[in-house]
């Protein structure tokens, strides 16, 4: 990706200070999604990168990972699998807990999410990686079903947290734009 393309994507993402609580700068991707040119630059880049991976599925993290993941799955001609917050999936699930600053959260996947494809090759995608708790739990879930998380992809990564380094212990990590 050229620096110019990276700038188009970065400029289309809006910073919302103190949301959802004081001290957090929320990276708002709705202004990227409603900008057809910037959204197109991003999706074309991802499709080009992952064309050669021969993926079977894209797994998206609830909820913003669904937007990029489902679009990319169609561009690459593979299936899409949602990884959801606890209690949202209707069929039998397996789940994984992860720690938050206070307490814990839990993500789930359908037990048959990757159909009957042996060692399915899966790309995990979300909009942003911060502490890496959600993505680590999601990658573990993919691998627990018998599929293989080939790589985890993020539009944005918070470099001042160690989320990306922690995740690299279980899968490859690709972050388009690092935030220092
Ligand atoms: P974490 O588990 O700490 O890596 O948090 C990642 C999840 O929280 C992703 O699904 C993000 O969409 C969301 N998230 C965390 N921090 C931010 C932020 N500053 N701006 C937007 N989304 C965030």
Output the DSSP codes for the chain. Answer: --HHHHHHHHHHSEEEET-SSTT-EEEETHHHHT-HHHHHHHHHHHHHHHGGG--SEEEEETTHHHHHHHHHHHHHT-EEEEEEETT---S-EEEEEEE-SSSEEEEEEETTTTTT-TT-EEEEEEEEESSSHHHHHHHHHHHHTT-EEEEEEEEEEETTSSHHHHHTTTSEEEEEEEE-
Q: How far is the CA of 156 from the centre of ligand 1 (A)?
A: 9
Could you confirm whether 64 is annotated as catalytic?
Answer: yes
Instruction: For 72-84, write each residue's pLDDT tens digit.
Output: 999 999 999 999 9
Could you confirm whether 49 is annotated as catalytic?
Answer: no
Probe target for ligand 1 pocket from 32, 130, 137, with the most ligand atoms within 8 Å of CB: 130
- Give the pLDDT score at 59: 99
Give the whole-number percent of the chain exceeding pLDDT 70. 100
pTM value is 0.97
Q: Parse the chain into domains and list their residue ranges.
A: 3-174
Which architecture characterizes domain 3-174 according to CATH?
A: 3-Layer(aba) Sandwich (3.40)
Probe target for ligand 1 pocket from 26, 102, 128, 161, with the most ligand atoms within 8 Å of CB: 128
Instruction: For 2-57, write each residue's pLDDT tens digit.
Output: 999 999 999 999 999 999 999 999 999 999 999 999 999 999 999 999 999 999 99
């Amino acid at each position: 990706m050229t620096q110019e393309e990276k700038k188009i994507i970065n400029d289309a993402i809006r910073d919302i200070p103190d949301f959802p609580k004081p001290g957090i700068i929320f990276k708002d991707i709705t202004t990227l999604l409603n900008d057809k040119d910037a959204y197109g630059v991003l999706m074309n880049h991802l499709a080009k990168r992952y064309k050669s991976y021969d993926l079977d599925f894209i797994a998206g993290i609830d909820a913003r990972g669904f937007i990029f993941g489902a679009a990319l799955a169609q561009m690459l001609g593979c299936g899409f699998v949602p990884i959801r917050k606890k209690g949202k999936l209707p069929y039998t699930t397996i789940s994984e807990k992860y720690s938050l600053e206070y307490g814990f959260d839990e993500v789930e996947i359908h037990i048959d999410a990757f159909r009957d494809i042996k060692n399915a090759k899966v790309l995990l995608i979300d909009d942003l990686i911060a502490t890496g708790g959600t993505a680590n739990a999601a990658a573990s879930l993919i691998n627990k079903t018998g599929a293989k998380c080939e790589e985890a992809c993020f539009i944005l990564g918070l470099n001042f947290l160690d989320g990306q380094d922690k995740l690299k212990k279980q899968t490859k990590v690709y972050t388009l734009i690092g935030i220092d």
